[in-house]
Amino acid sequence: MNELFIGLMSGTSLDGMDAVLVNFGKTPQDIKIMGHSYVPYEDAIKEALLRLHSPNTNELEESLIIGNTISKKAYEAIDALLKKTSITSKDIKAIGFHGQTVRHQPQKGFTLQIGNPALLAELSNINVIADFRSRDVAASGQGAPLVPAFHHEIFSHPTTYRAILNIGGIANVTLLNPKTSVSGFDTGPGNLLLDHWSKTHLHRAFDENGAWAKEGKLIKTLLDAFFEDSYFEKTAPKSTGRDYFNEAWLNKHLQKSYAAQDIQRTLLELTASSIAKAIDSNISEIYLCGGGALNIFLVERLKTLMPKTHIQLTDVLGIPTQYVEAAAFAWLAKQTLFLKPGNIPEVTGAKGLRILGALYPA
């Protein structure tokens, strides 16, 4: 019996809202992407979200207002998706609504994704499941990454050791070793520092294909200084976010005057090297997803740093790279609706398996 779910994702890149319609069949691998829509965020939304990543005046009210705005954007994406696929709201079992992470501090016992799932349920007339991370944190977990459970169910191979690498604002990896339990963690910055530097100096949302970074020269002393950060020494389970790796983090390392393109080149190397250092050299295959998977120079660097590993996009496994994370939240919504766990304790550090999220009925 087929089940239709919608997954919504707005990641650490803060660029907009992805909506994916997923048809789940009888077996885990019987999954089909039925459609996709995307609604970009206006600059005012991006600026407000950036402010909310740091302590600010009147942040409580602003978080609620922006949460409503994000929920309306989510509805725009859903409405466009349903029209595109000729599916009606009554055909959808539930929406998995991640919201927008603005604070992630599991060591203090909280993670915060803003958004108003009650408003989204009211607008869409579809069951909404949200707040996926809090239960894992309540069980002494990191609350992240959550997508490894989806990766394990959909992408595992019975004999091949493979990894699924999502390069969003933050990069995270899932290690699927058929001989051991699943592991996964955030490796460090993905696109967010690269995008920040591109916006600052090129006035572009991102460095297309890594072309600007490729023109620059690697600053070895700066790269070494980046890697002195204690995050890179931590062992899994570990997770991070924009409230840690951000403009302030970058600026404290830029004590000398460097050419802007050389800094971009070094930031790209930080992303590539932190991934390569974190991934087991015995892995046979890596499948890339997220926006960074489309950065040609970044992928070139990954292939150079991991020459024995076959690297390609998740498209060859049946799910296009841009849709994987949103599809994961459709799957997490399905798990919650059917009262099944959505976390992997070995990944997040939680005390055990937990049913994640809260239901807001249509």
Angstrom distance (rounded) from CA 236 to CA 346 = 9
Pair (138, 160) in one structural domain: no
pLDDT of residue 28 exceeding 90, the answer is: no
DSSP line for 131-158: --SHHHHHTTS-----HHHHHHHHH--S
Residue 155's domain is classified under what CATH number?
3.30.420.40
Pair (162, 308) in one structural domain: yes
Angstrom distance (rounded) from CA 334 to CA 337 = 5
- The boundaries of the domain holding residue 268 are 147-317
Angstrom distance (rounded) from CA 281 to CA 85 = 42
Q: Are 104 and 243 in contact (CB under 8 A)?
A: yes
Pair (212, 337) in one structural domain: no
Pair (129, 97) in one structural domain: yes
Task: Provide the mean pLDDT of the chain.
Answer: 96
Strands in the chain per DSSP E: 3-9, 16-24, 31-40, 94-97, 100-105, 110-114, 128-130, 162-167, 170-176, 183-189, 285-289, 310-313, 358-360
* Number of domains forming the structure of the chain: 2
Pair (192, 159) in one structural domain: yes
Pair (269, 327) in one structural domain: no
pLDDT of residue 1 exceeding 60, the answer is: no
pLDDT of residue 316 exceeding 90, the answer is: yes
Other CB atoms within a 10 A radius of the CB of residue 74 amount to 31
Name 109's Cβ contacts closer than 8 Å, sequence gap at least 6: 137, 138
Angstrom distance (rounded) from CA 133 to CA 145 = 9
Among 26-30, 108-112, 156-160, 170-174, which stretch is predicted with the lowest mean pLDDT? 26-30
In eight-state DSSP terms, residue 252 is T
Pair (50, 162) in one structural domain: no
Pair (120, 153) in one structural domain: no
pLDDT of residue 351: 98
User: What is the gyration radius of the CA atoms in the chain, in angstroms?
Assistant: 19
pLDDT of residue 88 exceeding 60, the answer is: yes
Pair (230, 274) in one structural domain: yes
Pair (17, 138) in one structural domain: yes
Q: What is the mean pLDDT of residues 238-250?
A: 95
pLDDT of residue 23 exceeding 60, the answer is: yes
Pair (108, 218) in one structural domain: no
Angstrom distance (rounded) from CA 253 to CA 227 = 11
Pair (284, 349) in one structural domain: no
